Amino acid sequence: MALRSGIYIVPTNRWYIERTVWLIAGIVLLTCSTLALTVDPRWVFGVIATGLVSINVAFTGFCPVGNVLKRLGFTPMLATRAPTRWNLYLLQTDSWYLERRIYIAVGINITIASILMLVHSAWWSAFIIFVGAAMVWFAATGFCIMANALYWMGAEPRLAPGSQARAPLGVDGQAKHA
């Protein structure tokens, strides 16, 4: 990977599946962390579940929340082009592009932080809350600290506006053309 400069911002002109998943995951992290701190530490298992799902999405492409959003009419921007059994939403897994690396990194980080919160110190929740707030910010503005760090290190994005970004897919899985 070659080092680069500039700012990487994902498209924010509409709510597509992946952007909405980031928003929902961020809200789940913020909510579960707050409940773990104020009500019962076992709420952190919601964060662990979110982390494990994020890792699963990175490796298999299967996203349960993405599939619900697809059924609700949201269109994907990083879905596989091949038809799937039961018309499922699957994230592209043909290479380790930037957005896919975000799923794995976030999943590993919040899972480890959650375990440390349970066995070591409640202060680890500060990291989880930071990640949750960053995910909500990412969904709202298109800017992500981790995405930019990966971008500067040379990771290739698929949601780059005006460059290699693929045409969004319609509900039927076919490419939409403007």
- Range scoring the smallest mean pLDDT among 8-12, 60-64, 81-85, 164-168: 164-168
Helix/strand/coil (H/E/C) assignment for every residue in the chain: CCCCCCCCECCCCCCCHHHHHHHHHHHHHHHHHHHHHHCCHHHHHHHHHHHHHHHHHHHHCECHHHHHHHHCCCCCCCECCCCCHHHCCEECCCCCCHHHHHHHHHHHHHHHHHHHHHHCCHHHHHHHHHHHHHHHHHHHHCECHHHHHHHHCCCCCCCCCCCCCCCCECCCCCECCC
Give me the pLDDT at residue 164, please: 41
> pLDDT tier at 174 (50, 70, 90 boundaries)?
very low
Give me the pLDDT at residue 77, please: 92
Which tops the pLDDT comparison, 163 or 124? 124
CA 119, 121, 127, 129 dihedral sign is positive
Q: What is the pLDDT of residues 68-124, one digit of tens each?
A: 999 999 999 999 887 777 888 999 999 999 999 999 999 999 999 999 999 999 999
- State yes or no: pLDDT of 16 exceeds 60: yes
Give me the pLDDT at residue 81, please: 81
Pull the structure tokens for residue 158. 């698929």
Give me the pLDDT at residue 161, please: 58
- State yes or no: pLDDT of 57 exceeds 50: yes
Give me the pLDDT at residue 15, please: 94
| pLDDT (mean) for 143-164 | 83
Pull the structure tokens for residue 170. 């319609």
d(C-alpha 131, C-alpha 144), whole Å: 10
Contact between 25 and 46 under an 8 Å Cβ cutoff? The reply is: no
- State yes or no: pLDDT of 53 exceeds 70: yes
| pLDDT (mean) for 125-137 | 96
Q: pTM for the full model?
A: 0.84
Give me the pLDDT at residue 1, please: 58
Pull the structure tokens for residue 60. 């298999």
Average pLDDT, the chain: 88
Burial tier of 86 (Cβ tally within 10 Å: 0-12, 13-18, 19+):
exposed
